[in-house]
Amino acid sequence: MAVYFDHRVEAPDSSGEAILISWHSSVCVLAVGSVNASTGGCVDVYLQQGEHVELCHVERGFSPSLLQWHPTKPLLAVGWETGETMLLSHPSGEHTPLPNNTHTACITVLEWSSNGNRLVTGDQAGVMVVWKVDARGKLQGSPLIKHDYSKPLTCCIFRPPPPTEDVAMLARAAVSGDESALDMFNWKKSNKGAVFALGTQEGLAFYISTADGSVYSVDEQARSVPLLSVESAVQKMWYSKRRAVLAVVTDSLLLSQFSLGPEGIAQEISKVKLSGRGGQHADIVWTEHGLLINASGEQHIRLWDVELDDHYALTLDESLGFEKGELLNCVSFCTSKQVLAAGTSRGRVALWHMVTVSDQKGDAKIHWKLQTPAEVEGNISQLQWGSSSHLLAVCSSSCVVILSEHVMCSHYSQQMAAVQLTPTQLSLANFNTNTHITFHTDTHIRAVQVTKDMVAVWNGKYITVYEPSGQTLHSTGSFQCESPALAVHEENIYTVEPNRVQIRTPQGTVKQLLVFSEAEGNPTLLSVCGSYLAVGTDTCHIRVFDLTRREAKAMGVTKNLSELIPDLGALRSVKCNASGSQLSILITQVNGRPDNKVYFYDIELDTLSYFDFFTGRPESSLAQSEDSQRSQCEGELAARCPVSQFWDENEPRLFVCETVSLNSDLHSSSLSQTEKGDVLVVTFFVTQEHGLLLQDSQPKPASLLSLLALDTPYYYYICKLLFRRGGLVLPDLGEDGEQVVSTPTTTPQVPSSPQMVVRRALRDFVGLESCEKQTRDAMLNFSFYLTIGDMDEAFKAIKLIKRQGS
């Protein structure tokens, strides 16, 4: 489950009300334009947590009208309502004004070419200017062209460049005797445009529109010719490279599509009046696949698939915390996450996840899953996703807030469980004492680790250590640390830095370094089970350390999984068992998709095996000898993907993982959000002699969010948080873990001591949950021997079991 941390920008006192926001496409910097009724306007630049870059502050006695970042350099083009235009450089704050009197009216167009070698500026009076910018981001003398269209300019888009030939492949073909390739290569060498043909091509042709509905085509030599005309002012344009089609939307929401021939002739192929409120209040975005999304202050968002000629609407849901009559003002779409964000009149950010699902005929259907909203102050007027897909800037009537997405963190160890409730709030459960408390921290929580005597919280910059004391916690130490990975064991805290793991005291003192070579890479994953530490690196190396001694000692050698696993892209999760003898690994493939296998590395034998959830079978059939068991395995577990994994806290043979169906919208959207359906919890015995043995598989209870740990005789699950109108409430869980319907609360806060973690007995321990260790061990042996089919040993084990209360 994800939570959005809100970072309010640290705006100067003189900044006034924000009216413009703009993220850089590759650098995590946000530009904000604002206006103060008494002093004029200003432009400021902020970092991803809202920190103000003091040198990048520009004030004028008038309002900024447009902001546009250079596509690659931290260089901001700023247009003002008087026509002044400048380039502002981050982080130096150096600003270069365009020559005086270039524009004398409000700037309405600022557009960079794809590589940033050209900048188009245009104004309310109809003056368009094309500038050349060098590799350092400096303007090159006078403009390439200045043209007066005598009508206000409304928008501009560059036409994408044509695909380039692979010059290296062309050269190899020419050398090998391919005459056509040789001719092509010689032509390209002699052609005047070779600088574009042989290098990285950049589209320098663009389309620019005016308020009377005219669209002009401007070629690479900056020659402008009329292209087409529509009934009213052009509000948005979009070019489909695949179809060579230019789509135009007017202020009155008339959508026209034009095919563009090689001679620059535009032919209208369709025209449709889009429903909805047009005018200045409409906010329109295009996705790369031609989906037009419009928010215009109504209670729904309208979507048009330009290529399929299909349209539909998205509405809010009061059961998720939205209010009746709430209006949707603005939209922004994140291509990499396939998430649509919309800002409302009541200060909420609605988030829809786009999921593509194939029906029985194989046709792809798009579904939109509405999420629980994030909330800010005021009426939201603008939204924009940042260069990092987890950042969303929100501009409202009250403030500018940067929302940073974070998966809620949790951890279990030694009968202690911690689950994040809000950006600054933890639910802590001690199952030894059967107590639950809610703990508020002073900072945002980005990671948490617990033991029976310690709670360590990391906020991205500092680690703070707390010690439980009855119903409260008190801080015992805090130290600066920017480690992206964190683990704890007894009195030690494990953090990482390039090429090594640091073993620290609770006060931050480094006691020992676990060094990795440059080839072994930088540690990125840490996990402790029992008294063993598993480490995974960014070069896909793994290693286990024994923590039972005064100093940590490496077990075996550092293993390079890239040599063993084809198409290995990155490590997703690395866990070791309670004896440190086995490592389990989840990976991401080179193509970025999660692998359907869970891998097991035996440290002593130096062997790698796996269970393939796509086929529902282990690597070798020897691991599941009985035909009936093999059929059960293949039937229940096929066409699935593992999303999380855990070893038993004390039993080194017992392993569990959560899996989702490959056909579910969960798999196609986000593997980290196991609150969405079709989750199967699969338990294995893992041994050297018998390999992988399926012990049990069962659906995750619908009322529970995700698996947190396995500690025989229990599975430990995180409860779902329910969002209802008026606040955040916990489900009322019955004895079987199913949700009990209760009256909605009107208190907009988390309950004082929510029970966020519940236990569910393993199949063979139902009725034996309170048994002592001897009985528990005997029951585990019975379950193991029953799984491998050794009935003699199973009966021997069952004789040792004494049922509680008998």
What's the pLDDT score for residue 740?
Answer: 34
Is residue 310 predicted with pLDDT exceeding 90? no
155 and 209 in contact (C-beta within 8 Å)?
Answer: yes
What's the pLDDT score for residue 664?
Answer: 54
Tokens found for residue 114: 């794809």
CA atoms within 13 A on the CB side of 735: 1
Residues 802 and 757 in one domain: no
Q: How confident is the model at residue 341 (pLDDT cuts 50, 70, 90)?
A: very high
Structural domains in the chain (count): 3
With H, G, I as helix, E, B as strand and everything else as coil, classify residue 172.
helix
Q: How far apart are CA 72 and CA 742, in angstroms?
A: 53
Q: How confident is the model at residue 204 (pLDDT cuts 50, 70, 90)?
A: confident
Q: How far apart are CA 49 and CA 51, in angstroms?
A: 6
- Specify the higher pLDDT residue, 374 or 503: 503
Residue 582 is assigned to a structural domain of this protein: yes
Among 60-69, 384-393, 618-627, where is mean pLDDT lowest?
Answer: 618-627
18 and 43 in contact (C-beta within 8 Å)?
Answer: no
**What string of H, E and C letters represents the secondary structure of 11-30?**
CCCCCCEEEEEEECCCCCEE
Is residue 165 predicted with pLDDT exceeding 50? no
Domain closes at, from 201, 232, 256 = 201
Q: 761 CB contacts (<8 Å, ≥6 apart)?
A: 713, 714, 715, 767, 768, 769
140 and 161 in contact (C-beta within 8 Å)?
Answer: no
Residue 797 is assigned to a structural domain of this protein: yes
Is residue 274 predicted with pLDDT exceeding 90? no
What's the pLDDT score for residue 747?
Answer: 31
CA distances from 581 to 88, 115, 174, 281, 757 (A): 57, 52, 56, 63, 29
Count each helix (H run) and each strand (E run) in the chain, helices first: 7, 65
Task: Pick left, alpha or beta for residue 767 (phi over 0 → left; psi -120 to 50 → alpha; otherwise beta).
Answer: left
What CATH number does the domain containing 672 carry? Answer: 2.40.128
For range 423-437, the mean pLDDT: 91
Residues 660 and 795 in one domain: no
What's the pLDDT score for residue 277?
Answer: 67
Residues 778 and 718 in one domain: no
Q: How far apart are CA 753 and CA 426, in angstroms?
A: 10
Is residue 735 predicted with pLDDT exceeding 60? no
526 and 533 in contact (C-beta within 8 Å)?
Answer: yes
CA atoms within 13 A on the CB side of 719: 26
What's the pLDDT score for residue 140?
Answer: 83
Is residue 753 predicted with pLDDT exceeding 90? no
What's the pLDDT score for residue 279?
Answer: 59
Q: How far apart are CA 692 and CA 594, in angstroms?
A: 21
Residue 267 is assigned to a structural domain of this protein: no
Residue 45 is assigned to a structural domain of this protein: no
Q: How far apart are CA 551 and CA 564, in angstroms?
A: 30
Closest CA to 249 of 218, 194, 221, 286: 286
Q: How confident is the model at residue 625 (pLDDT cuts 50, 70, 90)?
A: very low
Is residue 598 predicted with pLDDT exceeding 80? yes
Residues 604 and 733 in one domain: yes
CA distances from 93 to 118, 281, 302, 630 (A): 21, 33, 40, 67
Share of the chain above pLDDT 70, in %: 85
Lookup result for tokens 């369709």: 270
- Specify the higher pLDDT residue, 550 or 736: 550
Is residue 441 predicted with pLDDT exceeding 60? yes
Residue 399 is assigned to a structural domain of this protein: no
- Amino acid at the residue 292: L
Lookup result for tokens 């000629």: 309
Q: How confident is the model at residue 627 (pLDDT cuts 50, 70, 90)?
A: low
What's the pLDDT score for residue 207?
Answer: 96
Residues 747 and 665 in one domain: yes
What's the pLDDT score for residue 444?
Answer: 85
Residues 744 and 788 in one domain: no
Lookup result for tokens 């229990």: 714
What's the pLDDT score for residue 201?
Answer: 56
Q: How confident is the model at residue 163 (pLDDT cuts 50, 70, 90)?
A: low
Closest CA to 644 of 666, 621, 615: 666
Q: 685 CB contacts (<8 Å, ≥6 apart)?
A: 653, 654, 655, 692, 693, 695, 784, 787, 788
CA atoms within 13 A on the CB side of 155: 15
With H, G, I as helix, E, B as strand and everything else as coil, classify residue 438.
strand
CA distances from 49 to 10, 34, 83, 396, 613 (A): 9, 19, 32, 17, 40
Using CA of residue 280, residue 31, residue 204, residue 129, what is the dihedral sign? positive
Q: How far apart are CA 454 and CA 438, in angstroms?
A: 15
Residues 772 and 689 in one domain: no
- Amino acid at the residue 236: K
Is residue 357 predicted with pLDDT exceeding 80? no
pLDDT tens digit sequence for 767-776: 888 888 888 8
Is residue 803 predicted with pLDDT exceeding 70? no
Q: How confident is the model at residue 181 (pLDDT cuts 50, 70, 90)?
A: low
Residues 573 and 702 in one domain: yes
CA distances from 771 to 414, 780, 804 (A): 17, 12, 6
Residue 628 is assigned to a structural domain of this protein: yes
Strand order in the sheet with 486-489: 486-489, 492-497, 500-504, 510-515
Tokens found for residue 532: 């063993």
Residues 800 and 682 in one domain: no
Q: How confident is the model at residue 469 (pLDDT cuts 50, 70, 90)?
A: confident
Full-model pTM: 0.74
Beta strands in 481-550 (DSSP E): 486-489, 492-497, 500-504, 510-515, 523-529, 532-537, 541-546
Is residue 636 predicted with pLDDT exceeding 50? yes
Residues 743 and 801 in one domain: no
580 and 602 in contact (C-beta within 8 Å)?
Answer: no
Residues 195 and 166 in one domain: yes
Residue 626 is assigned to a structural domain of this protein: yes
Residues 618 and 682 in one domain: yes
For range 96-121, the mean pLDDT: 93
Lookup result for tokens 């193509």: 591
Among 43-57, 379-393, 625-639, 654-668, where is mean pLDDT lowest?
Answer: 625-639
What's the pLDDT score for residue 532?
Answer: 98
- Specify the higher pLDDT residue, 655 or 200: 655
Count other Cβ atoms within 10 Å, centred on residue 746: 10
- Specify the higher pLDDT residue, 391 or 220: 391
According to DSSP, the residues that pair with 40 across neighbouring strands are: 36
Residue 780 is assigned to a structural domain of this protein: yes
Among 35-49, 112-126, 186-200, where is mean pLDDT lowest?
Answer: 186-200
Closest CA to 30 of 45, 12, 14, 10: 45
224 and 231 in contact (C-beta within 8 Å)?
Answer: no
Q: How confident is the model at residue 363 (pLDDT cuts 50, 70, 90)?
A: confident
What's the pLDDT score for residue 703?
Answer: 83
Give alpha helix (H) positions in 377-531.
Answer: none
For range 425-447, the mean pLDDT: 90
For range 312-320, the mean pLDDT: 93
Among 108-122, 421-435, 521-535, where is mean pLDDT lowest?
Answer: 421-435
Mean pLDDT for all residues in the chain: 85
Range of the domain at 713: 564-763
